[in-house]
Every structure is written in structure tokens, then in C-alpha cells.
Structure 1
Amino acid sequence: MASNAFSDIADEFLVCQVCLEDFKQPKMLPCLHTFCQPCLEKVLAAEPVGRLDCPTCRQDVPLPQNGVQGLKSNFLVGKLRDILQQQPAGKTSEAREDGVPCTVCEAGNSAQFYCVECADYLCQTCNDMHRRFKATKSHRVVTVQDLQSGQAAAELRARETSKCEDHSELNKFYCDTCQRVICLHCVVTAHKEHQYVEIEKAAEREGAKIKAKVATAKNTIGLHETWRQQLQSVRDRWPSEVRRTEEQVRKQVKAIIKAARKAGDNRIGQLRAMNAAREKQMDAAMEAAEMDLASARSCVQFADNVLEYGSPAEVISVAGELTGRLDRTAEDKNAERAELTMNFVNLTFDPPAGGLEQEVAKLSVQTRPWVKMASNAVSDIADEFLVCQVCLEDFKQPKMLPCLHTFCQPCLEKLLAAEPVGKLECPTCRQDVPLPQNGVQGLKSNFLVGKLRDILQQQPAGKTSEAREDGVPCTVCEAGNSAQFYCVECTDYLCHTCDDMHRRFKGNRSHKLVTVQDLQSGQVAAELRARKTSKCEDHRELNKFYCDTCQRVICLHCVVTAHKEHQYVEIEKAAEREGAKIKAKVVTIRNTVGLHETWRQQLQSVRDEWPSEVRRTEEQVRKQVKAIIEAAEKAGDDRIGQLHAMNAAREKQMDAAMEAAEMDLASARSCVQFADNVLEYGSPAEVISVAGELTGRLDRAAEDKNAERAELTMNFVNLTFDPPAGELEQEVAKLVGGINQVRTPLIPPTPQVRPNVAIGNGGVSLEHVKTVGGKKGSGDGQFNHPNSLTVTAEGDIVVTDCCNSRLQFLDKDGSFKKKIDLGFEPYCVAALTNGELLVTGDGHKIHVLDKQGRMSRVLQVTGAAENYETTRGVAVDRWGRIIVTIAYQVFVLSPIGDVMLKFGNKGRGPQQLGYRLRVTVNSSNQIIVSDFYNHNLKIFDSAGRHLFTCGSYGSGPGQLFWPDCVITDSEDNIIVADCFNRRVSLFSRDGAFIRHVLTREEHGLYLPWGLTLTHDGHLVVSEDSHSIKLFQVK
């Protein structure tokens, strides 16, 4: 370290900054500022009792028990004074032109000597006396001339000023154990067993630390200086900015008024153009909605007709196309509809709540409430199943398209001839039809439509084109006589003449004939429904079997020849199997029909309200433009007044910031100079004496002030007035509020966050990686009965900390993040893809929390059989429906809380349930219920109909003992907390037991309650031991 020039030693190190005289009993404060003890006592007497602030930097000074006297003495200032007095013109109050006065005698004679040990200036007389005393004979005495020439500087710097308080000997050692300086006497007595070093070595060690920190502190001085200059620059620019801004405000107000009038006219023109475009969008959306609804209804009715009236061969004939069509009809239309209605908005014009001055204009967009789904019943067989929708006559050679719509073969051939080569679209739904090699003729025939026509003609007023008042005409003779008979095999209506001829042929003698009267009374409906209409193309025999290998119907001849080595079943069994699949899918589609109908109603409601919204918005735009002009004039005056007030406030802020900057700069400089003085002039004892306070002060001096300064200057701004980059009309258009096309889909069902991890694979294992909690408590990361778990879309683990009445959030690794107090004991929680949480446990309510954890709304579940039970299990399916349990009942709610469905009675039957139910849903919207008291899992379809049960009471494989939480993985395997068997069990989606994935023996599991799967492959378990355990899926 370079030595500081003596002339640079500041006055604060030479004279007391209170009395401005040489220090008397100098006392050093923790901030390193030094004052006379009497001065500090006077300052303390003027302050509140027991309180003392540093007179220089105003920091609080904690006083020891004996007050100011107990503060640390600063011997260094005396040495600095002596060193400065070496110079011809010393800086202390004792420096005089006629030399340094003697500090011993009262005569004040000029001193010729200086005692290094006593630190006294001596005249000739006093020097003689000084040499006579035994105690001072050995002291080092130098002449004042040598002192002022600098030849004795080394002796002064090394002067020992610290003596042992116990033995009055010089402190020559430093005890590391006690962290204090000690004398030789102390070393051989009280400190002989301690760790100590020579005081010079200790001083060298502490000095090295101080030097390192001084380098950083010196850099900080530059930062403080730069900051002060920046503040001064801002302060100098401010007045001109205020004047310029005031002028620009007045000019801008005038321009805004002119632009507001123009913007109003533009907005109204824009509104009218938007209205025209919106009508086209609405027409397209309504057309698509009607098409979806009609398609779903048609699909359901087709399936109903096949199941009700189709023979086994007919069921199998259409099973493939029908199940595919049912799957496509059940597809989620939400994304498509959201895109189609992307620009649909409500033109509700909301003026600012606080007045136009605060928020000149704003148009808000309100979404429509989600409407409860309702299932539409189809009471009549539609015309499309009775007559061709192209020629509007009875079907001739009916051909079924892949979309299940049926038309006459000649009609399709005419349409194909009018279309581009090889291209055919369904005349009803406009879907592309891939044609086989032999064209329309190769499409599948639909024999069912003939049977439906026959069944409808049983009624007195049939729906086909043949129905007439004078009866059904004969379909054989050309005379068109009234028919009295009907052949079930030939499907012909016969008059008396044709009936006689029909009976004469050998091939027809075995045919079933009935009277038209019996036909119309319904007595022969069973014969009609069971009529065999499918014959083998190779052998012309009835198809009585179904070949699973070839996936086609075959006759008995085929069975014993070409298909004898294949897998085949009787056609009735195959039809029953396919019919069961169709029935299961039809249940879902019926619900889809309700969704389509609800969607169409929503669109129609929006369409009906739109014109009035347009008119109302136009009126409000005109009114708003007028209000903007008035507000602009007032706002200009207010802004100028605000500017003046801001100027006054800013001056005060700037004064405070400059004062703080000056204080920081002065404090850093003082600290660095003190450190330089200590290192340059301090004896080892003095270095050690101040090392603790000095290093602490250097650390504080080097602290980052950016946050503090940012807060202090938070409201500092440059009043540069920036006009809009574009035309003023564009900016004023924002003030008018615009007709903002906020893109909000009409139906945003929000499903539950789904897992992306599968554990059904036999090769999957789980390894314990972490336990959180484990001891009942209320601190962060401690739990008191953690009942339920879920994972948010962001990957956080949410725990219902039941008896602490709160939710706790853990990160994906299980570390505590935050907590939310609820005011009730939460039981279960479900996380939605939009960040919302559903929480149960408060009566018959479901609390909905937004993404920030704030209470958004409360859904009330109505119609529960047990008033004293609370909501428990909760889940949300892919349609956004909320499934919640109360006692032994399961409720299905719309997203806005309307009860759409409830099922479950108390008992043990298939449709009955016990208490304390937990629930989840799979990707097919099947509802999976964990029945605690019945020791099993029950799976229901989306309409609440029981599908199957898995598990039974016991401890063997696939058995359950008080099952609690149930979840599914990404492959819809079922994972259940088998609570009192102390394990977690895995079942396939169809209920077959797979294995135990966690057990007490292998994984140390204890009474598992809650389960969830994280996005990064952890199975998380909450236990009765007030803990959360994380297992890595491998």
C-alpha cells in the first residue's frame, strides 16, 4: 500500500468534529468516527434516554452498559497528531510559528525534545527532569529537529500505545482463542493453554484482510462519485424539461380534440364493416353447428336403427364404418370451434369506473356462460333413412357411403358424372368419398333401408312414398292393385292374383307370408326385424357365420371350404359383440348431441344479440368522442397542474437523493482513509484493536446500493414528451377505446391436467428419492393430515394440508414454495389446464382458486342426500364437466356449477356406493370411483351407468382394504392407494389386476392417502405419517 501524503489526512482524524479541538479521551464509534468522550456525553444528554446517533453519519450507536465511557478508545488519533506536527506547518491546534510548545511544564516553553514512549514534547528543563526518573530513563527521546525532518518517523509509527488493563504491561501477543490482545504476563498465566501469536503476526494477518477489502471499497468510491454526478446531471436538466413538457401538453390537447372527431367517424365505419364480416362468420359457424348436430343425430339414429331393426348380418356389415363414424362424431370440437369463433366478441362498451380522466375509453369483452348440456331424444325415423335425399323417392339399389349416408346408386352415378373425374362428395355432409376400383357400384349396399320402409309401412300412415289412403299397392304386378299379403323373404307386397302365383313356385313355397292387416297391426314386427337379407355372393346361401380372420360374413358352404382353418363364430354372436361396442359408443354420442345442441343455442343467442350490440356500440362511440373532447381539455389543465406539483415533489426527492449520495460518498472516503491511516501509522495493537469494526465497515461500504437507490429514485423520470410514432389519429383511436377484436372462443371447457407418465409396463420400477415432512406440524413443509395431491400445469405439487386449513405448494423436487390459507379444512384438490384449482371439504361447496391462488368463485352442489357430509373427491373430464362426491353420491356439474347428473345409492350393488368416495376420470371420460367402505373400484360411463367393478375385500393380489385416492396414468391404467394394505396397486383400464407398484415391505409405505404423477416421472404419495414421498418412475 502506498503511503498517504501527510497533507491529505482529513481534519476528522486530527480534531473532534463536535468541539473542533484536539481530541480529549478519544472514543471510536462502530461507524469508525471518533469524538471526545465529553462531547459524546453532551450529545447523549440532549438525546432521548439511552439513544445516541453518530454526529457525522447519524447512525444509531448501541451503547455498552457503562455508557460512553465503555466505548472503545482510539489511540491512533494521538499518533496522527504527533506525526503531523513533525511538519513545519502542522495541522493540529498546537502548531505555532515559534515552534512546538512543551507539553509538560506550565510555562509553555519551546520544546527541543520529544519522548517517543510518553508522546510528550519536552523543553530543556523538562527533558533533564525526564532523564532523572528511573521509570523514564530508558525511554527513547529524539530532538524536535529530527522529528520535524522525518528521521524519527519510524519510531513514532511503531510506538506501542496499548497496555494490558490487568498488568499495565505492553500488549505484545494476540490470543486467537479469546480474540483479544494480551501481555507477556497474561501469556504465562491465564492464557497459557490458549492459541496465541505475536501481536505483529496477528496485525499482519488482519492487515492483509483489511487491504483486500480496501481495494473493493476504493472502487465503490468511484461508483458513489459517478452516482452523485448522475444525480446532479438529472437535477440540472429537470427545470427545462418541466417547461418544455408544459408547452407540449397544451399543443397535444389541441391535436387530440381534432383527432378524436376523426377517430369517431373512422370507428363507426369500422364497426359497420365489422358487422358485415361478423354476419358472414356467424353464418359459417351456424352452418357448421347445424352440420355437426345433424351429423351426430343422424349417426345416433343410424346406430339405433341398426341395433333395433338390423339382422346380425346387417349389424356386422356396417359395424366397421359405424364405429369409425361414432368415434369421429365424438371427437372434441372445441379447438375447431374456438378457431371458427376466434373473432366473436361482445360489443359491450364499458366507460372507465374512475371517470374519463383516469381511463378515457375501454371496450370490454365478456364471454358467454357455459350452458348445461341436454340429451335430445329422437322419436321418429328420419326421412333420410326412408327415401333418397337426391331424388326424394324410395331407394333403388341403395349404396352406403363411409359417412353412413345412403343414396340410390343411379343418383350417385349422376352426381359423379357432374363432378371432376374420380371425385365424389357426399350430397348431405360434403365429405370426400374415396371410390373403389369399380366406382359407385363397388360401394357397400345398404339393405337395412328396405326393412325400415317395410316397418314404417306397418303403421296406418306410413312415411314412404308408397303410403296412400287406399292401401299399399302390389309391388309385383303392373296393375298396381291393392296388396293384401306381404312376403317376409322377398319383401314384396302382393295382391290376391300375385299371391296365388307366388305360392305355386317351389322356391317360394317356404317363404313366410303375412296379411297386410297383421303387418300394419305390428303383430309380425319380430319376423321383419329378423329377416335375413344377406346372402353369400359365391354360393347364394344365407350368411350365418362371421370369419374373424377375414373379417367378413360367410355362409355354411364357406365354413367347410375356404374358411375351415380360420377363426369364425356364429353370425348372431358376432353381431352381439359388435352391437355391444356400438352401444357403448352411442352412449357417448348421445351426450355429444347435447353438446352440439347447446353449442348451436349459444351461437343463436349470440347471433340474436349482435345487432342491438352494434347499435348500442355506435351510440356509445359517438358519446365517447364527445366525452373525450371535454376530458382532453380538462386533462390538459390537470396535467399541467400535476406537472407543477410533480416538479415540487421531484425537487424534494432530488434533495434527499443527493444528500444520500453525498453521505455514501463521504462515508466510503472516510472509511478508506481510516483504513489507510491504520495500515500506515497504526501499531500492531492498534491494527488489531480496530480490525473487527473496520472490516465490518468496509463490507458495508462496499454493499450494493442499487436496490436502495432504485427505491429512492423510483419516481424519477425524464419528462421528454414523445408524440406517437404514427399518426395522431392512431393514438386517439386508442383513447376512443376502439372496437377491439379480443379473440375469445365461445366455449372454453377446461379439463384437468392429465399425466404424461405410464407405469403399466412390467419393466417399470419405482425408486424412493425424497420424503418431505414426516412430523406433524404447521411450519413450511410440515403437514397435519395431507389428504390429497395434484400437479399443476407448471409442474408444482399441490398438497391439501387438511388440519392446517391450507394448501401447500412444492416444486417438482419436493421443496416448499408457498402456502395458501383457506379458512376451512380442504379434503381434495384438482388442477385445471388454465391454472385454476378446485378444492373440496367445505360443506356442499367447491372452491375455485385462480392461478395466483386467490378465491375466484364458489360452486354450490345442490341435491345431496346427506346434509352433514362434505364434498370429497373431485375430478374434471375432457368436456370440462366437474365430477364431485358427497357421501355415497356422485355429482356431475357443468363448468359453471349446474348439476347435470347425479348417481349412486347407499349399498353394495353395481349402481350403489358406500361413503368416503374418491374419484378420477380417464381419457374416455369414464368415471372411476374408489369405494372406501365397499373395498373396491367401480367404473361408470360418462352418463353414470355402471360398467364394471374391480377389486374386492382382502389382502391378496387384486384385493383392496379401504382404498382411498385413485388416479390414472397416461395409458389410462388405474392406480389406487390401497390404504390399510399399506400399498399402491395397479389395474389395467379394463379392471384387470397388474401388480403392486409400492408396498410396505419394499418401499416402507405407511397408510397411503393421496397420489399424483408429476410431469417429470415421479409418483408422489401422501401418508398418514404427515409426510409426502416422491418415487422416481424408472
Structure 2
Amino acid sequence: MAASLSQLSVLSQISEEFLLCQVCFERFSKPKVLPCLHSFCEACLLRYAPDGSHTIRCPLCRQESELPENGVSGLADNFFILNLSDVFTPRKDEGPRRKAVCTICVGQQPAEAHYRCLECVDFLCDECAPSHDHRIARFTRKHHIISVPASENKKLLKREIVCSKHQSEAVRFYCESCTVPICRECILIEHKDHSHTFLQDEVTRHKNTIDGLMKNVRDRIATFEEALRGVDEVEAQLEANRGQAEYVIERTLQDVMSLLRKQQQELGHRLARICQGSKQQLTAHRRSLQSGLDNLLSGFDFTEKALGHGSELDILSIKDQVIERLQGLAVVSPQQDFTMEQLSNLYFEAKESAVDHSLPQLGEIKCGDKTFSELSQATDTRSICSIDSNELDDSSLSECAPKSPKRTAKESVLKKPQILFHLKDETDEAGEFDWPSGVASTADGEYTAIVDRDNDRIQVYNRKGRFECKFGSRGRQPCQFELPLDVAITGGDDPCVYVTDEYNHRVQKLTLYGQYILHFGDNGLFKQPYGIALAKDGRVVVTDIGKHRITIHDPDGNLISSFGSRGDADNQFNEPRYVTISNNRIIVSDHCNHCIKIFDFKGTHLHTFGSCGSGNGQFIGPTGVCTDQEGNILVADCADRLQLFSPEGMFIRHLLNESDGLSGPLGMAMSSSGELVITNLGTHCVNMFRYSSWV
């Protein structure tokens, strides 16, 4: 009844969409709240997490979370949304809303209520209100009586929740020993020896923590909005400078129009391609910022509505999820793109002596402080400026590529790669893997093991690219996985494989044909194990992107040492992904720090190379890493390219790009016989190259 008096004012603040499940777009039925604070019907979530699943991905923000032991039904009930749906959405069989009547009067026709007690939550008529007044009744001396129109106060929107054990009693207390809301009868019977307090006091204590977190999230929202405005300003300046550059190009061209028509078209084409590349980077950055802002707004919006309109029980039922979510959101910052400031710095630089030559060059397109020719050497299809690999012949490549210290004069002519196989998933009708990630080859190159991540299995192929076997399924038992990520293979006549099992928080050791041997790390050692590599003496090196560190183990999984923490210092990481071992050195791709770091087995930092960018020797999120027989380091990154470095980290040349079949390269492996295997997320296939014939 209380809610009916304030229905219009509440509905004016809460949209109809807030009361609908965003999967079925129907009124909520048994709403469940995920750790990301998005709520859905229990039946809808069951379609996203079938029986036996241990994780669930939010249909809206795609955040993956672990499920309780009893699955979707074990998720927290969203009493706040359920109460709003029941109280403020009239049901078909309810008919018109009734007026509030006195809850004290006895009889078939109770009087209409004009007052209400804030403590008892009772509606009172004109006759009962005086007797309830604190100046007359001894038991209600501290109660406060207000008129019904004043109940527009949002405190009165909260529905009274009755005790599940004592239906006549309201839940007004909180048992600190059992951490559950209770009524007066519960205090006298089930919880008589326990420590308890008022429900309102307990809620107030948690509200203070949540209010502090909401302030931090509010500051982050402002930061993201400012970053988005910065992107818009850069794009506007980019368009303005593009127009200015076109004007200068046209004006310069008029002096030599008859001879330079072809060059005019080429310059316009280059300008468009540079601008398009810049816009693609701006669009990607805007999308990343918008996604972060949406997550911040979503969590903040939900918490604000819950605190403003939810009952004490509503807030307590979701307090853990709210606090955990807000703590995560409160430390989120806009991802910095160190190349963005260069994107709008676009102009045309004309040559003053253009008219003095029979076939003069009008000028050069520049972006930042680099010319089109300098930028195009990167052959990066996702950089701010790029050209197709077939535009450069072998001679031009050999002229611009630095020579490795170990190269001879005969190796100065660089050849294009020789593709051997496009490995397909022969066990699937579509002929594709589902997110192939890690890959490893036996020492002789006879067998290659590929992690088929989203199918939760390992597939083995031979040197000729023919399918040999597969093993693994989704689960937590031996030889089962929850998103495997990387694989390493031991040497010898009877090779075994080590597999990082991300969401089971462990590493499994199995035979090459899938027979379980042992596992380690699920005792809290790992949070999200990712990359793995083996030393010649059998030691196992594992990267952990959850704890941002490296761990070293003996062949049986016993921990020997660990090093690293979150940060950007020499001995810190920000999501260390893949790892390889060469000459007793540990080489790690530090993904979010956009660099490669090298350590010895004592954890001592040796050196770092690379930075964020699309130029030679720079990376945009480095992924797979491996070495060749000479110790040179091969690094793939999210810009669909593969670069070659000396053992000391000096840039040598670009090896592959998108035109060679790379699309989201992840894992890499190099056999002793010279086969280079690369997994591709974008095409869900695996490429095998003959490395020794072209380096």
C-alpha cells in the first residue's frame, strides 16, 4: 500500500527498460544479479550457461565470471528489481489501486489512513494517530508520525519484508553472528545468544563504504568523458588539416598541371589512406573508451538506483557484488594511446624546386614528424600509414633492412616466406578451430600440438599437416579444461605436454596422446596462468596474467621461485602473455606494457626492448614470441605483423604481415628443422611456414 502512494514519483526516475530483462525483453522472472551488476531472468541465464558450466559470460558487457557450485540458481537474487517489478508494475488481476487504510483499526471497514509511523511502518487514521503519539504511548515514545502526503520521501518506498519463519513479524534486525536479517521473534528463539544490531544500522555501515566507492567511480566517469571529448577534438582537427592539405596540394599542382596529373592522383590516394588509417585508430580508441564508460555508467547507475530505492534487505542481498564491482571500476583508467596525438598532425609539405625538374615531385604527405615512405616501411596494416607488401620488391626490402650481426654477405637478399600449410580443424564440419591460441612443436618438428581454446581441447598434427589426435573437453577433471591457453612439449623419445588451464587455475601434464600424468597450481598458486615454456633441464616457466608474475617449477610442478608484480618497471609486468627460453634466458611478451623483457633464471632483469607504436621495433600489444637457431627473437603483435630482432633486442626487419595470412596472431613455435607455426585468432586457422628458407 505504501508504494502505491508514491508510484508516479518513483516511475518518473526509473525507466521501463530497467524493469525488463535485456535477454527476453519481458518482465523479470526470478531475477539474478551477476558480479558485473547486470541482472537477467534465471531462465535466460540458463541458456547462456548450460548444466555443467562453471563460468558464465554476461550477455551485455561480455564479462566472464565463475558460477557458484550450484550453478545459475546459486547466483544472488536481485530483490531490488523484483520488488520494483511487483510494487510499481500493476498486474492484470489487481484492478485499480486501493487507497491506504489504517492498519490499527479492527473491523471490516477500516478508516482511510492520513498518517504513518516511520518506525512501525503502520498506516494510521485520524483516531489512531493520537494514541500512537510518542507523548501518550509509553512503548512508542520515540516513534515519529508523519502525514501521508509526506510519505513521498523515498524512505517510505521500501516495502516491509516479513520474516520467513515468523510471518507476522517484520525483519528489522541483523544477526552479526549468522550475517542474516532477523525479526524480534528470531532474537528471542533461534538467535537469542547471538550478537545482533538494527538492520538499518548495518545497512548504514555498508552504505558508507559504497558511497566512497561511488565517488571514485564518478571521478572515473568524468575522466572517460573527457578522454572521449579529446578523441572528438583530434578527429575534428584531423578533418580540418586534411582539407588544408588538399588545398595546398591543389595549389602546388597548378604550376605543373600538364606533367604531374599522375602524381596528383597518387598523392590524393596516399592522403586518403593515411587519413583512413588514422580514423581506424581513432575509432578503435573511441570504442575502447566508450566500452569502459558504459561499464562505469552501468555499475554506477545500478548502485545509485539500488541505494535510492531499494530496501535494506535488497541492499544487503547484493552488497558483496556491488562492493566488488565498484572496487574494480574505481581503479579503471582510460587506456592511453601514445600515438594518438600524432594522428591529427596531417599536412602537405611542398617542394620549392618542384617546377625546376622535368618530372618534379610535388611534395610528401606527412603524419606527425614522419613521411609516408618512412611510415610505409612498417608494412603494418593497422598502423596509421601502411602499404601492401607487393608494392615493395625484394631489392627495396634488402636495402632498408638492417643486417643481423650473424649474417653473411650471401644472406643480404631477403626472400618472401614460403607457406607450407594452412592447418584446418578436420574434426569440425566448418574446418576451423575456435580461438586457436598456444602452439608447440616437438624437438624434431615431427608433431605440433595446438590449443583449441574455446573447444577446451588440444589437437595434434604431424609435419605434413595431417591430423593425428585430439584430447580434452570442458570441465575440472583430469584431461578437462576451462579455457586452455598455451602448451609446451618436452624433449626425448616419449614427449609429454604441459597445458595452462586458465579458469581451473592450474597446469596439467599429459602424454602427447592425452593420458593424464599430474597437475599443479590450483592450490592458490595461480590466478590466470597463460604462457608456458620448458628449459632444457626440464624446468617449467609459467606466466600469470592474473598475478602479473613469472613462476619457475621443477618437472613435477614444485615451485622453485617467482618474480614480478603489476607495474611498468623493469622487473614488473602488465599482463605477461607468452614466454620462450633461449640460451638460459627467459623472454616474456609484456602485453599491456607493449614491450619484450628478458630475465635470467634468478629473476634478474637483463634488458627490455620495444615501446607502444607502429614503427620499426615498436609493438601494439605483443603476443607470441619464439627464437630461431641463431638466437634471434621473433615477436608477433596485435597489429597483424611479425618482427625479427637480434638476441640483444635490436630490430632487424619485418617478416610477415596481414597479406601473408596473419590475422590476430597469438602463439608461435619454431622447430629445430625450421618450421615456424603461428596461430591466428582472426581467421581461426594455423599457418606453417618454412622459416629456414627465407631468413
Higher RCO (Cα < 8 Å, 6 or more apart): 1
> Which one has a larger percent strand, Structure 1 or Structure 2?
2
> Which one has a larger percent helix, Structure 1 or Structure 2?
1
After TM superposition, the score normalised by the length of structure 1 is 0.28
After TM superposition, the score normalised by the length of structure 2 is 0.39
Larger Cα-atom Rg: 1
